[in-house]
Structure 1
């Protein structure tokens, strides 16, 4: 056994308590040791990248050049666009500020007519016509019918309450439509807002297309800043031209429907809005069917945009707008034109005042004349261009009706009753016999119907009778009722052309009457109005009755007339007895002469036919105790009337007119001398008055004889022995 020393025992390791999470019920697992992320390869430096890129582009020099050019161009465009946008914004802003400073108050723009309007009333005080620029008064968006406001917005600018004066969507759509329809971008549809339309109408009406569009932009935006939307709409509602001289919806509502703009229905509002685009082609007075079709389209727009219900839209389509009675009749257009021409220029043409004219017009008589003309002209061949005209007046010259042509034309049409100067033919002969009767001859003076030749500066002139025959010795009454030419010429030469011209002129034939032998046969020209007025003087017992139609003129809003017709005693042209005898002679024309087709039966009438050389004009003018009427028929180009004389269709028209005019009136006798009331020349029992008149006649004859001798006496032998 070894006696080596024993080794001391190993010291045990100290005890260490494990770490615990005293806030967790579970035993925490030791966290794994984090691993180091792998190192990224260092990125190449900027210079290295450039070097690499350079190496890649260095393969194609053309690509490098193009890339450089496009890059430079893009930078130029970008910076130029920014600069131009800033410049454009500054110009636009400057334009808006400038226009804003120039704009007046909204009320100034409501009525900008160059002339005032004329409202015409008939004899009963009812409106029958308008002329001039009609303005019904200022309306606002609150005082018109909601339907009217909605119809305008739906038709013209459905985004009206949402834009600032212009609608880019509308403009782009209009350009696309114009190009599609083969027009230039700015021609045709404009895509204009209501505000732009006002800007154009007020300030840029005469500016060319593209330039106008550019100027409309700042002006429209300035208006949007200056005025409220309701003010802009009010300007539009008041300024819009809607046909027939109507400016603004107040005037148009009265013109077409006889009501205010506040009372129009859906259908009426749609029809009025339809006039905005085409006031002529969609005018309901010219073409009601087209206007109604246009209105139906607008009703559809109102329905689509939610302004009316389906039921309202259907009701409007099933009950389209109709014209008022006044507008539908279209009565008195020629009469109204004549009144406007005769009215004082300093009021009607040179002033901006709105005036009301009270006239002598009678709708009932006008309708009678129009119906009569239509009835008789139905006898003409289809397509005939023959024309007719009628004038009806009272014995004092008050014109009651006027037809200036076969159709009811519109304002400014050629008026054959007042503007057509035509040869009067045998309708002039009563003035020849009026001069003779005034000189002392009588209805039963005997004159020989025989050939006669009169020397003239252009050579001998020999008148012929229409029948081609000669009747020998006949009375002046027979000569007139048979319209014998030779006797009329002989009487005219015996009485003196100067006297005949004076009598005709004093009665109202205003046009110059040439001093030639043929004046007795109506070689002079005159209008139907003048001739009818001259015959009124015969009815009026020899006192001239000038045609008139204006009774009073009042500035609208005034209580007292500015002008009114004054009573005029008239000029006495021939003495009452001469007028009474001439009336009897003309009565015989109707009863048994060339005017028999004008006979009114038991109602006494007097008149005279007229047919000019080659039958280019045909006349019948006559009267009853109540009215005078004149009828003319012919061609505007002076063509020959085939088979028509004054005693034919003109006499028929006269009879048809007067029968209608006198319906319900008592039969008043004419103021005429009958044969039994007048002694014949061969009677021995002449009164002192008759003897005096006979002596005056002989003195007048002797004076004329001496005058002719003084002038050469060439006519003395020609007429020797003609008169007893």
Structure 2
């Protein structure tokens, strides 16, 4: 009897359950994948049915155009997108079509709107870039880029990428490859405000886009990746370098031969000259940057009416060009007592440098900062005629020196300011408190940080020209705050006003008598002191400023209701031999103001300058030395001086300031009757500016 075969081993229950679970998971995955494909197909078909027709997509987009007008209504500049003629597929040069396909989407003619090979490659590259802290760019096909440019925003997120892919597939279903490429080349942004190959060709080469050389096509095709970086108008060499990359890619793709690539020579392409941009663009750049905060309209064409006076702007431009030494930069801003900016020159040449030195640059102001020292002193009760002594002084180890290396002894406050004497400024700063001087600067509109070391009285903190000019304008405005503005109103093309400038309620910064006395000091500086080069044949009040090693020269002043600030120096802050605020900057101020004030009647100040008895024809060397070198020569920390520690002086309590001014001994023009009180300081606003937290007084506490 044969032996019985052993029974087959039984599968364990756990193995059976695992296999069943795997089969179920695979089925779910399969059905899910099929469902996703069906949903994608439905989305593509629905999207394709809702896409505009080819004729509709050929219409030029309604990009917002902004027309900027001067104060007299003259059109200054029109800003907005530029669209050239629509070029059909057969009118677009084959070199242009081949270049854009080679560099942007080599498999354009073979994919369905999404390139699987490109996606796989982008995933691999994305992992490497993520490890380096960078983000993947340029993984989209031409069709995807077209979908994004026409229908979507540039926001980078997965939701947008999914919508982009669906629209790209729909575009490929509805239109031919030739139509898609035609749409793309007529709608893509090439930089410089140019959309489409025709607009780009006209801007960069000066001719239409229906005939372009291989080198020109390579330059234009290379712009899509980074229009602002590779634009010929921004960096011609970068555009040429990028064009050579495009030629290499075209050769690698088989679109051109090595001989054709070698013969292209992008470096020999003649670029169309840029239209000359005068200094008015400094003003329009500054003013239009505020437009988004003033109006909500983002698409409709707008007319912007500004405060700019074209004659004054030309005078400012001429004054800066004529008086700024070679290889230096100069800046000028001029404003009315209500803050309306009439002229703005941010540099000697807008084409070579769009950097606006009136609003963006922060430089040390030198002795022009003494404005705030003397304002604080006058508010604390010091009078222009008070006697002071110009003598050696040391504050916390810091010893300021005068430019003449001499000390005049007994002198009054008025002439100490006119001669920009450092020792007296230091004494006054110590007397009122350096913290109080910093508060005064912030009160008058200085937006940058101010240190409170004793040497701060000589202007050691960086400031902006527009802020300093604003401060001087506030003195001219009888001690009321001045806020610079450049836009009067904004209207739609049919004349509907959607924004109108509102000056608001005036804010008192200092009592009127303090502003009048400060004007007295500033007028003396122009008539008898360091600012004599700013004289223009009518009353002028102003102050010079010069910094360490003559790196910066300043002059700020006002006359007949117009305040102007001038700065000169090097952008790299290197020393400039001979640069002083009382020379080129003051001369530029005078050259501008003579023209700007010509149509205005002469306005006298509330105070007349009283010349000192000894002021006949003083010896420049004896009294002035090197005028107003606020550091180095005029007394800021010299080599070997010890750094000045922060002054530990409690700020003066604003509540203790006597807004009525000194009593009866003040000149008659400043006396007031018992019932005639000057405007009060807006203490709540001042506390907000200065960051003070005031405790409620006992009578203000609730019962």
Q: Give the alignment's TM-score, normalised by structure 1.
A: 0.57
Shift of 1:112: 11
Tell me the equivalent position of 2:391: 450
User: Residue 88 of structure 2 contacts residue 182 of structure 2 at CA under 8 Å; is this kept in 1?
Assistant: no
Selected match of 1:635 from 567, 570, 575: 570
Shift of 1:429: 1.1
User: Residue 128 of structure 1 contacts residue 331 of structure 1 at CA under 8 Å; is this kept in 2?
Assistant: no
User: Residue 267 of structure 1 contacts residue 321 of structure 1 at CA under 8 Å; is this kept in 2?
Assistant: no
Q: Deviations over 1:187-233 (max 9, x none)?
A: xxxxxx999995797699999xxxxxxx99x9799669538989985
* Counterpart-to-counterpart distance in 2, 1:558 and 1:335: 25
Shift of 1:395: 2.2
User: Residue 332 of structure 2 contacts residue 565 of structure 2 at CA under 8 Å; is this kept in 1?
Assistant: yes
* Counterpart-to-counterpart distance in 2, 1:416 and 1:366: 16
Tell me the equivalent position of 1:329: 277
Shift of 1:340: 4.2
Q: Give secondary structure in 1 for the equivalent of 2:599.
A: coil
User: Residue 530 of structure 2 contacts residue 544 of structure 2 at CA under 8 Å; is this kept in 1?
Assistant: yes
> Which range is displaced more, 240-249 or 508-517?
240-249
User: Residue 334 of structure 1 contacts residue 402 of structure 1 at CA under 8 Å; is this kept in 2?
Assistant: yes
User: Residue 89 of structure 2 contacts residue 179 of structure 2 at CA under 8 Å; is this kept in 1?
Assistant: no
* Counterpart-to-counterpart distance in 1, 2:555 and 2:548: 16
State yes or no: 1:339 paired with 2:275.
no
Selected match of 1:399 from 324, 330, 341: 341
* Counterpart-to-counterpart distance in 1, 2:670 and 2:155: 77
Tell me the equivalent position of 1:674: 608
Tell me the equivalent position of 1:358: 305
* Counterpart-to-counterpart distance in 1, 2:520 and 2:189: 56
* Counterpart-to-counterpart distance in 1, 2:434 and 2:155: 58
Q: What does 1:310-329 correspond to in 2, within 5 Å?
A: 327-329=275-277
User: Residue 243 of structure 1 contacts residue 283 of structure 1 at CA under 8 Å; is this kept in 2?
Assistant: no
User: Residue 524 of structure 2 contacts residue 609 of structure 2 at CA under 8 Å; is this kept in 1?
Assistant: no
Selected match of 2:511 from 542, 558, 575: 575
Shift of 1:352: 6.3
**Higher relative contact order (Cα pairs below 8 Å, separated by 6+ residues):** 2
Selected match of 1:625 from 560, 565, 580: 560
Q: What does 1:165-204 correspond to in 2, within 5 Å?
A: none
State yes or no: 1:478 paired with 2:412.
no
Q: Deviations over 1:665-711 (max 9, x none)?
A: 2452242301579xxx9x99965964989xx9xxxxxxxxxxxxxxx
* Counterpart-to-counterpart distance in 2, 1:194 and 1:548: 44
Tell me the equivalent position of 1:661: 596
* Counterpart-to-counterpart distance in 2, 1:117 and 1:328: 20
* Counterpart-to-counterpart distance in 1, 2:393 and 2:321: 42
Selected match of 2:471 from 534, 555, 559: 534
Distance 1:686-1:221 versus aligned 2 partners, 3 A rule: closer
User: Residue 109 of structure 1 contacts residue 235 of structure 1 at CA under 8 Å; is this kept in 2?
Assistant: no
Q: Deviations over 1:372-393 (max 9, x none)?
A: 222223x43xxx3x33222122
Selected match of 2:584 from 612, 632, 649: 649
Distance 1:246-1:519 versus aligned 2 partners, 3 A rule: same
> Which range is displaced more, 635-644 or 391-400?
635-644
* Counterpart-to-counterpart distance in 2, 1:420 and 1:436: 29
Distance 1:266-1:509 versus aligned 2 partners, 3 A rule: closer
Tell me the equivalent position of 2:350: 408
* Counterpart-to-counterpart distance in 2, 1:646 and 1:688: 32
Tell me the equivalent position of 1:427: 368
Q: Give the alignment's TM-score, normalised by structure 2.
A: 0.58
Q: Deviations over 1:339-359 (max 9, x none)?
A: 3444445968x9667654332
* Counterpart-to-counterpart distance in 2, 1:249 and 1:543: 54
Distance 1:250-1:599 versus aligned 2 partners, 3 A rule: farther
User: Residue 538 of structure 1 contacts residue 579 of structure 1 at CA under 8 Å; is this kept in 2?
Assistant: yes
Distance 1:687-1:199 versus aligned 2 partners, 3 A rule: closer
Q: Give secondary structure in 1 for the equivalent of 2:189.
A: coil
Distance 1:689-1:146 versus aligned 2 partners, 3 A rule: closer
User: Residue 147 of structure 1 contacts residue 269 of structure 1 at CA under 8 Å; is this kept in 2?
Assistant: yes
User: Residue 545 of structure 2 contacts residue 554 of structure 2 at CA under 8 Å; is this kept in 1?
Assistant: yes
Tell me the equivalent position of 2:175: 226
Q: What does 1:121-520 correspond to in 2, within 5 Å?
A: 121-129=69-77, 134-135=80-81, 156=96, 226=175, 236-237=185-186, 239-247=187-195, 276-277=220-221, 327-344=275-292, 355-377=302-324, 379-380=325-326, 384=327, 386-409=328-351, 413-454=354-395, 459-520=396-457
Shift of 1:533: 0.8
Shift of 1:536: 0.6
User: Residue 331 of structure 2 contacts residue 567 of structure 2 at CA under 8 Å; is this kept in 1?
Assistant: yes
User: Residue 199 of structure 2 contacts residue 208 of structure 2 at CA under 8 Å; is this kept in 1?
Assistant: no
* Counterpart-to-counterpart distance in 2, 1:671 and 1:404: 30
User: Residue 388 of structure 1 contacts residue 406 of structure 1 at CA under 8 Å; is this kept in 2?
Assistant: yes
Shift of 1:434: 2.3
User: Residue 279 of structure 2 contacts residue 317 of structure 2 at CA under 8 Å; is this kept in 1?
Assistant: no
Distance 1:118-1:321 versus aligned 2 partners, 3 A rule: same
User: Residue 198 of structure 2 contacts residue 209 of structure 2 at CA under 8 Å; is this kept in 1?
Assistant: no
User: Residue 200 of structure 2 contacts residue 220 of structure 2 at CA under 8 Å; is this kept in 1?
Assistant: no
Distance 1:684-1:583 versus aligned 2 partners, 3 A rule: closer
* Counterpart-to-counterpart distance in 2, 1:625 and 1:689: 21
Q: Deviations over 1:452-493 (max 9, x none)?
A: 122xxxx42221112211111112221111110111122223
User: Residue 85 of structure 2 contacts residue 198 of structure 2 at CA under 8 Å; is this kept in 1?
Assistant: no
Tell me the equivalent position of 2:520: 584
Q: What does 1:43-58 correspond to in 2, within 5 Å?
A: none
Q: What does 1:84-99 correspond to in 2, within 5 Å?
A: none
User: Residue 156 of structure 1 contacts residue 194 of structure 1 at CA under 8 Å; is this kept in 2?
Assistant: no
Q: What does 1:36-47 correspond to in 2, within 5 Å?
A: none
Shift of 1:414: 3.3
* Counterpart-to-counterpart distance in 2, 1:269 and 1:603: 61
* Counterpart-to-counterpart distance in 2, 1:484 and 1:199: 68
Shift of 1:648: 2.1
User: Residue 109 of structure 2 contacts residue 177 of structure 2 at CA under 8 Å; is this kept in 1?
Assistant: no
Which has the larger Rg? Answer: 1
Shift of 1:401: 2.5
